[in-house]
């Protein structure tokens, strides 16, 4: 039996050696062999091109990593458009699953292929933990991202 192909999409650059090996170890121990396909929204872009994607003014910001391990801040609007195109391409390639390796809500990302959105997982986990009025702390990479939270 051929392993199932699972696409892992980062908003930075692939490969994500800081995330994927551990995730794959867990997935394989529970579900068997998978063929991991990694795609990054910033794949193929150099530092200068990535710097041009920095948000202006009070535009929504996202934080991710480049393949060299450096951290970058990019505009959410551009990222969202690029993410829509990547997911559409992956959907057409016949993957068993698409996993977004980024929290944040991305409007208009549609696929016939099942998509695991990290933000939805986090939202539901926090909601479950906060049941009954418990206080739950959530950390974000940038202070500016706090205004995007709905308390």
What pLDDT band is residue 146 in, cutting at 50, 70 and 90?
Answer: low
The C-alpha atoms of residue 134 and residue 127 are separated, in whole angstroms, by 10
pLDDT in tens, 46-56: 999 999 999 99
Domains of the chain, with CATH numbers? 4-118 (3.40.50)
Most trustworthy range by pLDDT among 2-11, 78-87, 137-146: 78-87
- 146 upstream amide cis, omega within 30 of 0: no
- Is residue 20's pLDDT more than 70? yes
């Amino acid at each position: 039996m051929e392993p199932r192909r699972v696409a892992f999409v980062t908003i930075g650059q692939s490969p994500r050696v800081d995330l994927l090996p551990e995730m794959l170890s867990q997935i394989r121990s529970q579900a068997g062999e998978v063929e991991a396909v990694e795609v990054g929204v910033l794949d193929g872009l150099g530092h200068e091109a990535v710097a041009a994607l920095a948000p202006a003014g009070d535009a929504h910001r996202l934080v991710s990593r480049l393949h060299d391990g450096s951290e970058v801040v990019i505009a959410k609007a551009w990222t969202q458009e690029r993410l829509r195109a990547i997911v559409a391409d992956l959907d057409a390639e016949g993957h068993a699953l698409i996993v977004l390796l980024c929290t944040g809500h991305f409007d208009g990302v549609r696929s016939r292929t099942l998509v695991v959105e990290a933000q939805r997982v986090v939202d539901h986990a926090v909601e479950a933990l906060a049941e009954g009025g418990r206080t739950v702390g959530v950390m974000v990479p940038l202070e500016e991202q706090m205004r995007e939270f709905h308390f």
